[in-house]
Amino acid sequence: MLGRTHDSTSTLIQMKKILVLVFSDLRHDARLRRQILAIAGNYQTIVVCFGAEASPHYETLIVQPTNLTLFRKAVTSIFLLSRFHSIAHRLLHDYYYIVDKLSQHRFDAIIANDVETLPLAFAFPGNPKVIFDAHEYAPRHFEDKRSWRIFFQSFNTWLCRKYIPQAAAMMTVGEGLAKEYERNFSVKPIVITNANNYHDLQPSIVSDGQIRLIHHGIATPSRKLELMIQTIRLLDQRFTLDLMLLTPGFASQKTRQYLEVLKKMAAQEPRVRIVPPVSSSDVVKTIHQYDMGVFLLPPVNFNYENTLPNKLFDFIQARLAVAIGPTPEMAAIVRKYDIGVVSDKFTPESLSQQLNKLTTEQVQRFKLNTTAAAKKLNAEVNAATINQLLSDVLK
């Protein structure tokens, strides 16, 4: 159902009209909420998504995810294997009725989030400018999974080859992804990071003899979160670890079971707790009480190797020191602003060596240094970049 949630429609009549396509639930996607709010003050904005909180700033059209019955999955698999990609897309993402549903609108630009939304974006009449926002490098998204490589690697590559050349502009979340898109598809995306809003906080004081670690995010097996629990076993008694984990509503049974595995591991470690998740808008103020944010993510696929995740920026805005593995773009930020430690390898042994050497004074210095980083790496800076991009495209 499409509903106007803005209280003063008349003030937006003369504005350009933007459509944002999102095949996910906005309530669980802080990046997209920030993106939409960045443009909604300057453009009439309509968002198509699977779910959203009511907002006074934009309209929403909530659609139901395609019902992938067992029969439909089997038929889609045949088309994917046979490289009938266009038919497969319509079976996987049957949302073309939205074009008729929004027929009273003429959009000046469409922001297509993730590669699956591109065919729908180009189905709208009037030749609106399409901006592609790639949250991952699509052709290698889950390359560590054999089934994904068999069914979806060619499909995602086809989507990129067919639609990226037609896009008026493109953005993505990090330099590594941008360079790979440029190398393979002759496009030069601008980088809009997953940075949170600026928070005017003072670093909390590190208690002598105690260093509290926190990790927050989605619990999925590919992230190998058990490595951080194993790290605690190698750390001296100053260190404790809290894991603030959530499981998406669409998670598979395997993913749901993984959280239970982590709970059992944590129950055997007196210095590890699994704590309840909070809404994304409350993450920064909740984790502000800790000393260090930790994330050890082995590069099992290209996107993990080049990740620049929201949690790093959440750590910074919460004024936490940072402890990570040698993920290149994350490590570059930690070293540039001198806000934490980077292990030599993606192993508990390597990370624990870096952490055990720390003094209370060093951790406090890292936390103090995050203030400079927070002023540079935030959603407000990104908002200016997004609006400049839209302005350039719509000229």
pLDDT at 3 (0 to 100): 47
Give the H/E segment covering residue 267: helix 253-267
Task: List pLDDT tens digits, range 52-104.
Answer: 988 999 999 999 998 889 999 999 999 999 999 999 999 999 999 999 999 99
Q: What superfamily in CATH does domain 2-195+379-394 come from?
A: Glycogen Phosphorylase B; (3.40.50.2000)
d(CA 55, CA 255): 31
Place 251 in a pLDDT band, splitting at 50, 70 and 90.
low
Token digits for 210? 């105690």
CA distances from 378 to 50, 193, 200 (A): 26, 8, 11
Same CATH topology for 2-195+379-394 and 211-376: the answer is yes
Phi, psi of 150 (to 5 degrees): -65, -45
Q: What pTM did the predictor assign?
A: 0.91
Report the run of H or E that residue 134 belongs to, with start and end: strand 129-134
Q: Which pLDDT belongs to residue 250?
A: 66
Give the contacts of 236 (CB within 8 A, at least 6 positions apart).
Answer: 356
In this predicted model, what pLDDT tens digit does every residue of 128-152 receive, in sequence order? 999 999 999 999 999 999 999 999 9
Rounded to an integer, what distance in angstroms lies between the CA atom of residue 382 and that of residue 23? 22
Domain ranges of the chain: 2-195+379-394, 211-376
211-376, what's its fold? Rossmann fold (3.40.50)
Q: Indicate the SS3 state at residue 362.
A: helix
327 φ, ψ (degrees, to nearest 5): -70, 120
